[in-house]
């Protein structure tokens, strides 16, 4: 099962999470499938990246710096200045984000320099 799933999912090797932390294979497979789904969702929201591989999405959008700030009315996610910020702004990833219950139901708002 892991071999057939590993050939379809291209986010993480199926055993990379279990190497550092002892996890049952079932949890490892579930996390891998979940990460692949998140990657595909992000790719569909970003114009021109719908066919991008997960590694490219990670390098370009996820592995970037920024700051979190909790304000009275929102949680602000301020992204560092990058060439791809206009694509993130256009994707409006925070529009459909529900309020965060464990943070006093604050909504998430992305801020770009």
Task: Dump pLDDT digits (tens) for 53-107.
Answer: 888 888 888 788 889 888 888 888 888 888 788 888 888 877 777 888 888 888 8
Chain-centroid distance, C-alpha 37? 10
Where in the chain are the domains?
2-60, 65-111
CA-to-CA distance for 70 and 65, rounded, in angstroms? 17
What predicted TM-score, i.e. pTM, was given to this entire model? Answer: 0.61
CA-to-CA distance for 105 and 113, rounded, in angstroms? 25
How many angstroms separate the most distant Cα atoms in the chain? 48
Planar angle of CA 98, 91, 112, nearest 5 degrees = 85
Contacts of residue 71, defined as CB under 8 A and 6 or more positions apart, other chains included, come to 106
């Amino acid at each position: 099962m892991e071999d057939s799933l590993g050939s379809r999912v291209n986010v993480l090797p199926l055993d990379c999470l279990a190497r550092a932390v002892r996890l049952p294979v079932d949890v490892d497979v579930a996390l891998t499938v979940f990460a692949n789904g998140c990657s595909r969702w992000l790719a569909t929201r970003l114009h021109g990246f719908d066919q991008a591989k997960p590694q490219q999405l990670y390098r370009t959008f996820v592995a970037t710096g920024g700051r979190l700030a909790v304000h009275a009315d929102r949680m602000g996610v301020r992204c560092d200045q990058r060439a791809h910020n206009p694509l993130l702004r256009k994707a409006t990833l925070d529009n459909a984000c529900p309020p965060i219950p464990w943070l006093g139901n604050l909504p998430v708002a992305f801020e770009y320099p």
